[in-house]
Amino acid sequence: LTVLHRAGRVHGGIKPGNVFALAKGGTRLADPRALPLPRAEEFDALPSPEQRRRLGVDARSDLYSVGALGWLLLTGEAPEAESTAAQLQRLEPSVPNKLADRIVQLLAADPNARPANASAAGEALAALLPAGRPVAAERDAGRNTGPT
């Protein structure tokens, strides 16, 4: 996803069926539509509010979908409009406060309240990991491993 966002493109189809776990660790996104900005009109799964309203989209729209996917994976349910960290933790009490806060930030209705791109979101999420644990983006730095 970072690679697409750096190229000024959006994925536009982030959903559970497009995320694959790699045997060596990490994940990859499949089926990248890689729609040019700002005219991304065809979306299907876990769309951001601006996608549903067919407004202009950018990298932050993909981040909403990443947050929605995180919510779905943690709870088994799609998030509702105006979802809160408290709601997430009621559905799944084992979710740490800071992770719940980050997911809800990705789900912000206002794109300006979300991180600017996948790199910024990844850094914020990586800060929640224990020290010394590699992050896929760091591990793969300098290698073109396809969209992440």
Q: 3-class SS at 35? A: strand
Which pTM does this prediction carry? 0.76
Residue 25 CB contacts under 8 Å (≥ 6 apart), including other chains: 136, 139
Predicted local distance difference test score (pLDDT) of residue 90: 96
Structure-token match 């983006």, residue found: 137
Structure-token match 């040019």, residue found: 36
* Cα distance between residue 84 and residue 52, in whole Å: 20
Predicted local distance difference test score (pLDDT) of residue 146: 47
pLDDT tens digit at each of 148 positions of the chain: 888 888 888 887 787 777 878 888 888 887 655 544 433 343 346 888 888 888 878 899 999 999 999 999 899 888 988 899 999 999 999 999 999 999 999 999 999 999 999 999 999 999 998 875 555 544 444 444 444 4
